[in-house]
Amino acid sequence: MNILLATSEAVPFAKTGGLADVCGALPRALADLGHQAAVIMPAYRQSRYCGQKIEPLGIDFIVPIGSKMVAGHLLQSGLPNANVPVYLVQQDQYFDRDELYGSEGKDYIDNCERFVFFCRAVMEAIRLLNLKLDVIHCNDWQTGLIPAYLKIEYQLRPGYQGIGSLMTIHNISYQGQFWHWDMLLTGLDWKYFNWHQMEFHGKLNLLKTGLVFADSISTVSPRYAIEIQSSPFGCGLEGVLQHRRDVLHGILNGTDNGDWNPATDPYIAANYDINTVWEKKPLCKAALQSEMGLPEAPRTPLVAFIGRLTDQKGLDLIAEVIQRWVQTMDVQWVILGTGQPKYHRLLETLAERFRHRVAARLEFSEPLAHRIEAGADIFLMPSRFEPCGLSQLYSLKYGTVPVVRATGGLADTITGLHETGASSPPNGFSFQEYSAIALAETLRQACEAYNQPEVWRRLVETGMSQDWSWARSAKQYVELYALTAQRARQASA
């Protein structure tokens, strides 16, 4: 099949979050399966410094944005070590900026105009590059107008007939909502600005637009696909998703075996695999304890958290449990991340008072994240909601047992040791109720299992032997692309 992924970011060209990782890895996995995959994204300032050669194609275009015409240019590069072209839309007035979406904590005031232009540019690029697509795969609100343009303006034009559109939700809380007069920028008729298409509580909603007009909808885990059909997970769009539930699919994100692999990881103290984990992982633990200023204690459970220090990630629960346990339980804690100031202050205080038990680095360091995954025994993810989550998958690969709250992708990937009726063998611990009591009880069970060598061995080796690669996910996407193309043909027949 011939697939174009439209995205506002992709590794290594630009990144603010997990969307970039997905759009850098999935096309490579599709190409490995023998499909034609390409990526199209804006040419940001930071894209110039990504280490990949970027060349002008000599293709210029002009598109309507409200009452004016705006010119742009197409550049070409490629994903590293893959036969996947990357097309970059150059329009320096919109994209030559310090950040991708905003600065100093505020969105750019013209974000709607910027991404109306990008969506228009994508539609023109399909013709100018003669792409002959089966499916255009749109990602998050920044590409939400593409399914609408395809259905309303383009699908009867030569070169566009039969193209299917897939809209993927990576995090439904980001919807691209703008004041109603920005509807003029889109060039679409005001008749589409209504409650069941593009309007949302008086505003223009670009994610809703994509969900309404796309042939298929997906999100990044099966459980999240169910959750977002109800409040509060749907963030106001649950009605739209209930209405379109027959075309809503959940496909788990994969992991990058190149970057996250304990057998080849350049950042960790000792490389290992499932055959050498019991010999080498203790060396990683000792090195981590030394680096973080903790006493070397091989039989003390080392519990880790990596991520944003926010309530959404369950920091309120973690903070309460640490404060309860720190003086009474023989457990070491390692925390890496940045976030809400109240958690910065609390962790700094705990790390100062209990240096033998708590170590916190209030920053983000990719190399240290790798060393924590390799050196920790237990990894915490007690999230309020988690569309997919990747850290729990990295933990499984590194033989670090996850303790998670059963929501979104965490529920789809982690089977608790004491879970009844599970279809897969246990690879961690999970709890349902969002409370510090539930987290503490589940963590206590994990610490007990840690002191039962045979039980712990089974948990670790089960996790390390599971396949969470992009190859697995890409096969599911290929099936969905075929279904999407079929739906598009049926809709236009």
| Residue whose C-alpha is closest to residue 72's, from 110, 124, 131, 14 | 124
The mean per-residue pLDDT over the stretch 439-454 comes to 98
The pLDDT of residue 302 is 99
DSSP classification of residue 329:
S
DSSP classification of residue 90:
E
Whether the CA torsion 31, 37, 40, 43 is positive or negative: it is: positive
**Which CA distances in Å does 456 have to 399, 412, 426?**
10, 21, 11
The mean per-residue pLDDT over the stretch 169-186 comes to 96
Fold of 277-467: Rossmann fold (3.40.50)
Banded model confidence at residue 235, pLDDT cuts 50, 70, 90: very high
The CATH number that domain 2-254+472-492 falls under is 3.40.50.2000
d(CA 203, CA 188): 15
Residue 375 near residue 270 (C-beta atoms within 8 A): no
Average pLDDT across the chain, whole number = 96
Which residues touch 341 (CB under 8 Å, ≥6 apart)? none
The pLDDT of residue 491 is 86
d(CA 299, CA 295): 11
Q: Angle formed by the axes of helices 453-465 and 436-450, to 10°?
A: 100
Which residues touch 452 (CB under 8 Å, ≥6 apart)? none
Domains in the chain: boundaries: 2-254+472-492, 277-467
- pLDDT tens digits, one per residue of 389-437: 999 999 999 999 999 999 999 999 999 998 877 788 999 999 999 999 9
- pLDDT tens digits, one per residue of 342-394: 999 999 999 999 999 999 999 888 899 999 999 999 999 999 999 999 999 99
Residue 399 near residue 281 (C-beta atoms within 8 A): yes
